[in-house]
Structure 1
Amino acid sequence: MIDLMVRHGSVGAARRAGRVLGLVAAAALALTVVLLSPFALEELSDSKGVDWDRLGQVGAAYGFTSAIVSALALAGVAVSLGVQNRQARADQVQGIRSYYLELVRLELDDMALFQPVWGDTDIVDPHERKRHVYADLMMNYAWMGFEIGTIRESLLRDMLAGMFTGEAGRRYWIRAHASWIASSSGSRVGRRFLAVVGEEHARAAASGPPTRSPIASRPPAVPAVGTSPAWRASVGVLAGLGAGLALGSLLRSRR
């Protein structure tokens, strides 16, 4: 799923860059044709000298075409600036998300220490807490991709359908949907994102009960090399004490 998202975003960015470059190249070609048109007219008229009055009259006939070409060139520049502005904003968002990811990694490393900083929670089970934090990371990734256009709506729906199949994903959205509405409903893209998430959550809930999350079991502790259980140490001490007493009694009898 993640590989598909990455490839989809890369293809979309390449297509947008190709369209911008094609528009700029077309504008440059049209401008070159307009600049060379007087010399082409001279060759077509089979004249040796240059009658600039005549060429000026002919050029005036191309004034409307020249205006269109200039407008296309300005439009190309405007589109290029818009793409650059959008890319710069995406970079800023990516920087904020990266900083947020570092904070979440610290929290996941020691939930008992860092989780209370975010506020009280009703999630008691530590494994469920980690699933909640991971689901929040997935939702933020989906929101960022949808906002900048690298994740289309069809791909977003497919991602959410898989997420809301399980119990952890549904519980996450029940707990977090109010904060998402408060933070993302201020823009048209944000409202559409919330609508898609709500629709997919409702569709998953109507399809039946969720898949229960398995209880993660911790592996048994492996004693370190050179250590032994307490009862083995006690038996060793008693055996050594008995051997010492027997040896001392033998030596005294020989004396």
Structure 2
Amino acid sequence: MTDIGGRMLRLRERSSRNARTLLGACSVLSTLALILATPFILSALAPDGLDWGRLSSVSQTYGALSVLFSAAALAGVAASLWYQARQTQIAQEAARRDAHRELVVLALNDPTLLPCWEPPSTPMTATRRKQILFTNLIVTNWESDFRLGNLGETALRDMLDGHFRVEIAREHWLTGGPGWLLSAELSDDPKRRTFAEIANERYALAMADGPPVASSQYFETMP
């Protein structure tokens, strides 16, 4: 019974495929026949005295317009595809940034995880290492806003001028700035290079301006 059922199933599948093939062939032949018969149909339906030359000129004019409309539609499709690709890239970058932020937050909340990261280039306490990591999150957030167009160059320079007044901010860029510059140079995103160059420029100006504000001077001690 199983063999018979299988043969019957295969026969039905073959019959279905043959029917689809026949239907496809009929569709193609019908389309070709309609194309070949179109001039005769138009000639039979056209009124007496129809100026076919004038009609041909009008149709050519509409044909030229249709080319323009088609080009505009194609440009719209290309712009839409570019926008979708850009949005996908932004979403992927946001996902990577969020994942990195979660890892840093885990290390900030649990100091025993700090040795899981690469060692600092200069000796420092665990508290200072946490402060450097948190400062890196701040700068990363500014970079994202700058690349997305939410932060202009003038506003960025103003924020970095205030940022590099801080002792920890200068230490962060001293140890991590070369990595930021190298990563930006290897990137194909010109906005990343511009951000790193501006940050390095404001850091150099802050260093030339004088000593930073120490973290111990931030807050007044209680009497």
Q: Which residue of 1 aligns with 2:20?
A: none
Aligned: 1:85 with 2:82: no
Q: Which residue of 2 aligns with 1:209?
A: 211
Q: 1: CA distance between counterparts of 2:141 and 2:130?
A: 17
Contact 2:161 2:206 in 1 (8 A): yes
Q: 1: CA distance between counterparts of 2:217 and 2:113?
A: 23
How do 1:155-194 and structure 2 match up within 5 A? 155-186=155-186, 187=188, 188-194=190-196
Q: TM-score, normalised by structure 1?
A: 0.58
| CA 215–205 in structure 1, closer or farther in 2 if over 3 Å, else same | closer
Gaps of at least 5 residues in structure 1 are: 1-49, 218-255
Q: 2: CA distance between counterparts of 1:103 and 1:131?
A: 15
C-alpha displacement at 1:205, in angstroms?
2.1
The DSSP-based 3-state class of the residue aligned with 1:150 is coil
Aligned: 1:133 with 2:133: yes
Contact 1:107 1:115 in 2 (8 A): yes
Q: Which residue of 1 aligns with 2:199?
A: 197
Q: Which residue of 2 aligns with 1:15?
A: none
Q: Which residue of 2 aligns with 1:153?
A: 153
Percentage identity across paired residues of the two chains: 35
Contact 1:145 1:151 in 2 (8 A): yes
Q: 1: CA distance between counterparts of 2:99 and 2:129?
A: 20
C-alpha displacement at 1:102, in angstroms?
1.0
Q: Which residue of 2 aligns with 1:118?
A: 117
| Cα shift readout 1:142-195 (whole Å, capped 9, x = no counterpart) | 222333433332332232222112111111100101221232212233322221
Q: Which residue of 2 aligns with 1:105?
A: 105
Q: Number of aligned pairs?
A: 168
Contact 1:127 1:216 in 2 (8 A): no
Q: 1: CA distance between counterparts of 2:200 and 2:218?
A: 29
The DSSP-based 3-state class of the residue aligned with 1:185 is helix
Letter paired with 2:198: V
The DSSP-based 3-state class of the residue aligned with 1:149 is coil
Letter paired with 1:118: W
Give the RMSD, CA atoms, in angstroms: 2.6
C-alpha displacement at 1:92, in angstroms?
0.8
Q: 2: CA distance between counterparts of 1:61 and 1:173?
A: 65
Q: 2: CA distance between counterparts of 1:133 and 1:164?
A: 16
Q: 1: CA distance between counterparts of 2:59 and 2:202?
A: 61
C-alpha displacement at 1:52, in angstroms?
7.2
C-alpha displacement at 1:198, in angstroms?
1.2
Q: 2: CA distance between counterparts of 1:83 and 1:161?
A: 34
Q: 1: CA distance between counterparts of 2:59 and 2:208?
A: 69
Greater relative contact order: 1 or 2 (C-alpha under 8 angstroms, separation 6 or more)? Answer: 1
Gaps of at least 5 residues in structure 2 are: 1-49
C-alpha displacement at 1:216, in angstroms?
8.6
The DSSP-based 3-state class of the residue aligned with 2:216 is coil
Q: Which residue of 1 aligns with 2:40?
A: none
The DSSP-based 3-state class of the residue aligned with 1:211 is coil
Contact 1:165 1:211 in 2 (8 A): yes
